[in-house]
Structure 1
């Protein structure tokens, strides 16, 4: 499991781009005073929706003599929710600090991340090779890996494709021209804006199938 290299304490409104929202939250929260910290997230889905946005706005306007830290958490943020937050993020009430935790900068509207500084804390997925043991790749490995990376961006998916090829080389797995060509096609599909999760699914299933043939 990767470690988060966070500042000990964040005292200003910002956006944190991370691999794992819940893990980041669990590491950050102990650094803040319990009585002045609020966590707002969707308990049923990974998406931050208009209901959560309304709760955040309501909480922000509850007066406090101490600095209030409001954590807005979601793997993705619905556009309507972001639009409703614009005003309060741009002109927050006195003593209110917003900390947005999400998986991808691309899920945030330009009008949001232009108003708040952001910290890119995602660790390179290239280091996550232990989940990609090609010699022992099975459907369970594929399922777990895809579940963990279902929200990734196009560039992150390209990094993963390259990391898989690197893993193949490190494990001294000989690939045919057809198999090597499959990696090139995967990169091309991503550049043509195919859904990253679909490209990775096809690639991993292809590798698992080829492994079983050898």
Structure 2
């Protein structure tokens, strides 16, 4: 999919935004693309939306592809884009790249089709031996999932807890609370990698007792 030129507006849900963007733009001439993202953090804000709208209304005799990239998209940013997404100016194609389907509002999905291109990160969790977690296992797992989305991280936390139960691992009340705390922290937009690191290191300490 990313080895082909996309000619119509769409939403791409991918594992890694930067890698996917770099693969995709190879299919376009450099003068025909505009990449709009927040250079300071992964959140697409109103300022980026305003920039995208201005770019869309700069007339072009050839197709212009505007890439909107972000791990999360602020609600007000999406709302400001609604009109231009629904009725884009002539020769304008919007391609939204994100790694979380839930970060895009239903009103955006109603205007632009989406393609789910993510491969499951959860296969890596199954390789973790919770009976004997060592630092090398944890390091490799975290390295593979360093740009994991909030929702995928929540799913991994839940799956690890299920695996703990299926293996009949004995956890203290404090250790069990780590799971609920991890979900709460993710809901509060704590960095997923930090949350998973804390959880896995705690489980490692338990398994090596």
Q: TM-score, normalised by structure 2?
A: 0.77
Corresponding position of 2:169:
176
Pair 1:57 & 2:50 matched? no
3-state SS, counterpart of residue 31 of structure 1: coil
Query: Are residues 1:45 and 2:38 paired?
Result: no
- Pairwise CA distance, 1:69: 0.5
Provide TM-score, normalisation by structure 1: 0.75
**Segment of structure 1 superposing worse, 194-203 or 116-125:** 194-203
Secondary structure at 2:119's aligned position in 1? coil
Q: CA deviation at 1:115?
A: 1.0
Equivalence for 2:189: none
**Aligned Cα root-mean-square deviation (Å):** 3.4
1:157 and 2:154 equivalent?
yes
| Alignment partners' CA distance in 1, 2:169 and 2:125 | 22
Q: For 1:158, what is the secondary structure of its paired residue?
A: helix
Partner of 1:79: 75
Give structure 1 stretches of 5+ with no counterpart.
none
Q: CA deviation at 1:110?
A: 1.3
Offset at residue 175 of structure 1 (A): 5.7
Aligned mates of 1:131, 1:54 — CA distance in 2 = 44
Taking the TM superposition and a 5 Å limit, the aligned residue runs for 1:73-112 are 73-112=69-108
Measure the CA separation in 2 of the matches of 1:36 and 1:145: 33
Residue 164 of structure 1 and its aligned partner are, at CA, apart by 8.6
Deviation string 1:50-99 (CA, Å, 9 cap, x unpaired) is 11111110110111111110000111111111111111001000110000
Partner of 2:147: 148
2:206 corresponds to: 210
- Indicate the residue corresponding to 2:118 in structure 1: 122
Structure 1 pair 206–96 and aligned structure 2 pair: CA distance change class (3 A): same
Deviation at 1:208, TM superposition (A): 1.3
Per-residue displacement from partner, 1:4-56 (whole Å, max 9, x unpaired)? x5351211101011111100001000101211111111111111111111111
1:18 aligns with 2:18: no
Gaps of 5+ in 2: 187-191
2:203 alignment partner, SS class:
helix
